[in-house]
Amino acid sequence: MSAMVPMVNVAALKDTTLLNMGIFALFVLVTMVIVFRASRNNKTAADYYAAGRSFTGSQNGTAIAGDYLSAASFLGITGAIAVNGYDGFLYSIGFLVAWLVALLLVAELLRNTGKFTMADVLSFRLRQRPVRIAAALSTLAVCFFYLLAQMAGAGSLISLLLGISDWGGQALVIVVVGALMIMYVLIGGMKGTTWVQIIKAVLLICGAAVMTLWVLSIYGFNLSNLLGAAADTAKNPNVLNPGLQYGKTETSKLDFLSLGMALVLGTAALPHVLMRFYTVPTAKEARKSVVWSIWLIGLFYLFTLVLGYGAAALVGADTIKSAPGGVNSAAPLLAFHLGGPLLLGFISAVAFATILAVVAGLTITAAASFAHDIYANVISKGKADAGTEVKVARRTVVVIGVLAILGGIFANGQNVAFLVALAFAVAASANLPTIVYSLFWKKFTTQGATWSMYGGLSAAIILIALSPVVSGAKTSMIQGANFAVFPLSNPGIVSIPLAFLLGWLGTVLDKRREDTAKQAEMEVRSLTGVGAEKSVNH
Amino acid sequence: MGNEAQTPDAAASVDFQEVQQTGQFQELRKRHRSFVFPMAIAFLLWYFAYVLLADYAVGFMSTKLWGNINVGLVLGLLQFVSTFGITAWYVHYSNRRLDPIAAEIRNEIEGHEFDKGSAVRGAAK
């Protein structure tokens, strides 16, 4: 039996291209039908942006998991564990623990005070225009980084799964993925996007569960045996210990701390995650959503631990690294080793669906932020009717879709998990301090908010531009130049404390006082849910 | 008369500062903050302790406990356990200690007990 051969024949993967495409086409067909059916009731802005606030906590929780478990989580973390051992596991812990920030400090209070976007909450008791513009800009920046990561992932994934290795072919597939995504979001709005995410989350978690049980059964359901086999294949017992990737130098250790900080503080500030809390009718359902997603995401990351070490043991780090798609190919190669072409086809289709669903969620968030915050509230000063606003949102979807396609083609081949970590760093620096201050600090002012948001955003982006990510290293985006004066590849450790500091400083130096009645209203609303947006009944 | 027609704008006539000053609301805020703040500090300390250990105490984290299971893996899995635990604890706490009092305040506000200019409860608008 060829499945018993320990080495995976990468060349044999090409024979499965048609099967992969078939399974993916089936997924697209089924979800399109669902999106069309779901879109029938898309009438108002609340329908388009927030799915009429009609999803239940468990549905929304599953969709959040679908949104959050991006290609970076599934392919990136499995690959990181397979190649770097324990250090890959550290990513998943940061990604999971971060949900406690969302659960305890943000989700319910945000649901009670906002309408559609993050800026609704941040500008509630401060001066509308400056805060809204700042919040919308940072929303767009985070979405852009995250989108770039997903589209770049699509390119490298395709080279492995569809056997398309030339640049033009990959670009074509990125265009197809982008066009499909634009259709989902245009037609389905938030409701269609949510259903795509729910279906994808169920498929992804089930697929990962089957593979996990399969790997464990090979080792007699003994984790210790699996770890031993991984260390044997790698011929290096250190894959079980921390430090393989980040322990090399003092700088890399500091870099890891910076990454850990960005991961744990970034999640609760990701605009596309925050927007999902508006799709449920009450704060209690928002709480249920987070609880549900914590269980699903936690379970999934436990699976990736087994899958990563399983790939290390059964496929081997060297085979993974030399395969097209590199580190990201660990999970698909493991699927091929276990279940042959059929399981590979299924896992590949799920990985595609993942990219599609996450990109759709990001696009609708960015479009809502532009149409609702910048167009409706700043450009037309609240005088635009909801119909025009939704029209603007739909046009924005097309613009963002095209930008994502171009960005994806340009960023093709960049490290996926890494770009996502940068998006987390930008979110944690630009958004989190202002979210926390405006929910919990009575004296917080407009100046504090704008200093913190612009300061955090620009610090994060400038530090990334001056880091080894962009220049001066073998893996940099720009080769042959070196302006990397900042040694760390993740800016979080500097930019996050700086943004907190600026928020405080801007507030204490502000001569203007904010409206205390508005502060009272926000506090009472956030804790009691009085006057919160209700669900739309059709 | 009824509350069915409550819209977000209905809250516009409410004197929120008056609500904010009530003992009931102060109690709700105290209960919320006295749970979420210490808990947030605790899990962040525990998480960063773990990250620092993995970063700077590689020898300790690599200590084998049984078979190939080492301290690092056990502490990592304990992060999962504590995350699940805190989640369950918070849900239990808010169902019991936060939701009832929040619902009570909400009903009073929606029953127009805190409308502006209605010093006497139940006075005609």
Chain A interface disruption, residue of B32, B106, B107, B110, most A CBs within 10 A:
B106
Confidence of residue A302 (pLDDT cuts 50, 70, 90): very high
Q: Examine residue A298 and state whether it is found in any structural domain, yes or no.
A: yes
Determine how many CB atoms are found less than 10 A away from the CB of residue B47.
Answer: 23
Taking each continuous run of H as one helix and of E as one strand, the counts in chain A are 23, 0
Inform me whether the pLDDT recorded for A433 exceeds 90.
yes
Confidence of residue B123 (pLDDT cuts 50, 70, 90): very low
> What is the average pLDDT across A506-520?
92
Report residue A31 as tokens: 């979800």
- Show the domain range for A66: 8-413
* CA–CA gap between residue B14 and residue A339 (Å, rounded): 63
- The answer to whether A21 faces chain B, any CB pair under 8 Å, is no
Distances (CA, A) of B9 to A119, A373, A531, A533, B6: 19, 20, 7, 10, 8
Residue among A458, A459, A484 nearest A469 (CA): A484
Neighbouring residues of A319: CB distance < 8 A, sequence distance ≥ 6 = A7, A8, A10, A333
Report residue A233 as tokens: 């294949």
> Which residue has 């406690």 as its token pair?
A100
Beta bridge mates, B64: B70
Q: What is the pLDDT of residue B58?
A: 92
Please tell me whether residue B115 adopts helix, strand or coil conformation: strand
Give chain B positions within 8 Å (CB) of A247.
55, 58
* CA–CA gap between residue A169 and residue A220 (Å, rounded): 43
Q: What is the pLDDT of residue B5?
A: 35
Phi, psi of A56 (to 5 degrees): -85, 165
* CA–CA gap between residue B120 and residue A269 (Å, rounded): 43
Give chain A positions within 8 Å (CB) of B44.
264
Inform me whether the pLDDT recorded for A111 exceeds 50.
yes
Inform me whether the pLDDT recorded for B95 exceeds 90.
yes
> What is the average pLDDT across A143-170?
76
Distance from CA of B122 to the nearest CA of A (A): 19
Amino acid at A339: G
Residue among A503, A495, A520 nearest A445 (CA): A503
Question: How many domains, in total, are found in chain A?
Answer: 1
Across the interface, do B62 and A89 touch by the CB < 8 Å criterion?
Answer: no
Determine how many CB atoms are found less than 10 A away from the CB of residue B119.
Answer: 7
**b/e sequence B63-98, b meaning 16+ C-beta within 10 Å:** eeeeebebbbbebbbebbebbbebbeebeebbeebb
Q: What percent of chain B has pLDDT over 90?
A: 72
Across the interface, do B76 and A530 touch by the CB < 8 Å criterion?
Answer: no
Q: Which of A425-439, B6-20, B74-88 has the lowest mean pLDDT?
A: B6-20
Q: What is the CA radius of gyration of chain A?
A: 23
Q: What is the pLDDT of residue A416?
A: 65
Q: What percent of chain A has pLDDT over 90?
A: 46
Q: Which of A54-68, A157-171, A449-463, A467-481 has the lowest mean pLDDT?
A: A157-171
Q: Compute CA A329 distance to the chain's CA centroid, rounded to the nearest angstrom.
A: 19
Mean pLDDT, chain A, whole residue set: 87
Residue A252: give its domain's CATH number: 1.10.4160
Report residue A443 as tokens: 């004296």
Across the interface, do A523 and B29 touch by the CB < 8 Å criterion?
Answer: yes
Q: Examine residue A518 and state whether it is found in any structural domain, yes or no.
A: no
Residue B67 region, left (φ>0) first, then alpha (ψ -120 to 50), else beta? left
Determine how many CB atoms are found less than 10 A away from the CB of residue A8.
Answer: 24
Q: What is the pLDDT of residue B22?
A: 93
Chain A interface disruption, residue of B29, B80, B114, most A CBs within 10 A:
B80
Higher pLDDT, A474 or A217: A217
> What is the average pLDDT across A391-402?
90
Inform me whether the pLDDT recorded for A230 exceeds 70.
yes
Q: Which of A168-172, A246-250, B95-99 has the lowest mean pLDDT?
A: A168-172
> Which residue has 């400083």 as its token pair?
A505
Q: Examine residue A427 and state whether it is found in any structural domain, yes or no.
A: no
Inform me whether the pLDDT recorded for B12 exceeds 60.
yes
B31-35 long-range contacts (CB < 8 A, ≥24 apart) are: B31/B97, B31/B98, B31/B101, B32/A527, B32/B98, B33/A440, B35/A104, B35/B90, B35/B93, B35/B97
Report residue A139 as tokens: 């929303």
Confidence of residue B4 (pLDDT cuts 50, 70, 90): very low
Distance from CA of A12 to the nearest CA of B (A): 34
Inform me whether the pLDDT recorded for A6 exceeds 70.
no
**Among the residues of A473-515, which ranges form H helices?**
492-508
Tell me the pTM.
0.90
* CA–CA gap between residue A378 and residue A127 (Å, rounded): 12
- The answer to whether A379 faces chain B, any CB pair under 8 Å, is no
* CA–CA gap between residue A134 and residue A503 (Å, rounded): 13
Higher pLDDT, A176 or B22: B22
Inform me whether the pLDDT recorded for A445 exceeds 70.
yes
Q: Examine residue A469 and state whether it is found in any structural domain, yes or no.
A: no
Distance from CA of A194 to the nearest CA of B (A): 24
Confidence of residue B124 (pLDDT cuts 50, 70, 90): very low
> What is the average pLDDT across A222-248?
89
- What one-character DSSP code corresponds to residue A240? G
Distances (CA, A) of B107 to A338, A528, B104, B114: 58, 10, 5, 11
- What one-character DSSP code corresponds to residue A537? P
Q: How many CA atoms lie within 13 A of A181 on its CB side?
A: 33
Q: Which helix (H) or strand (E) holds B64?
A: strand B64-66
ipTM of this complex prediction, to 2 decimal places: 0.91
Chain B interface disruption, residue of A58, A96, A104, most B CBs within 10 A:
A104
Distances (CA, A) of B121 to A17, A38, B3, B118, B125: 73, 46, 17, 6, 11
Confidence of residue B49 (pLDDT cuts 50, 70, 90): very high
- The answer to whether B83 faces chain A, any CB pair under 8 Å, is yes
* CA–CA gap between residue A78 and residue A325 (Å, rounded): 13
- What one-character DSSP code corresponds to residue A471? B
Q: Are B66 and A227 in contact (CB under 8 A)?
A: no
Higher pLDDT, A247 or A500: A500
Residue of chain A whose alpha carbon sits nearest to that of B27: A527
Q: Examine residue A192 and state whether it is found in any structural domain, yes or no.
A: yes
Q: What is the pLDDT of residue A246?
A: 84
Q: Which helix (H) or strand (E) holds A50?
A: helix A45-50
Amino acid at A204: L
Q: What is the pLDDT of residue A528?
A: 92
Chain B interface disruption, residue of A91, A97, A297, A436, most B CBs within 10 A:
A97
pLDDT in tens, A269-299: 999 999 999 999 999 999 999 999 999 999 9
Residue of chain B whose alpha carbon sits nearest to that of A436: B37
Inform me whether the pLDDT recorded for A5 exceeds 70.
no
Across the interface, do B47 and A264 touch by the CB < 8 Å criterion?
Answer: yes
Q: Examine residue A449 and state whether it is found in any structural domain, yes or no.
A: no
Inform me whether the pLDDT recorded for A138 exceeds 80.
yes
Give the number of beta-carbon pairs within 8 Å between A and B: 162
Confidence of residue A419 (pLDDT cuts 50, 70, 90): confident
Confidence of residue A9 (pLDDT cuts 50, 70, 90): low
Q: What is the CA radius of gyration of chain B?
A: 24
Q: Examine residue A517 and state whether it is found in any structural domain, yes or no.
A: no
Report helix angle A167-218 to A57-68, nearest 10: 120
Report residue B108 as tokens: 């009073």
* CA–CA gap between residue A313 and residue A236 (Å, rounded): 11
Across the interface, do B10 and A531 touch by the CB < 8 Å criterion?
Answer: yes
Interface of B with A in 84-123 (CB under 8 A): 84, 86-87, 90-91, 94, 99, 102, 105-106, 109-110
pLDDT in tens, A29-55: 888 888 888 777 777 888 888 888 889
> What is the average pLDDT across A97-115?
93
Confidence of residue B10 (pLDDT cuts 50, 70, 90): low
Q: Examine residue A481 and state whether it is found in any structural domain, yes or no.
A: no
* CA–CA gap between residue A439 and residue A109 (Å, rounded): 8
Q: Are A294 and B87 in contact (CB under 8 A)?
A: yes
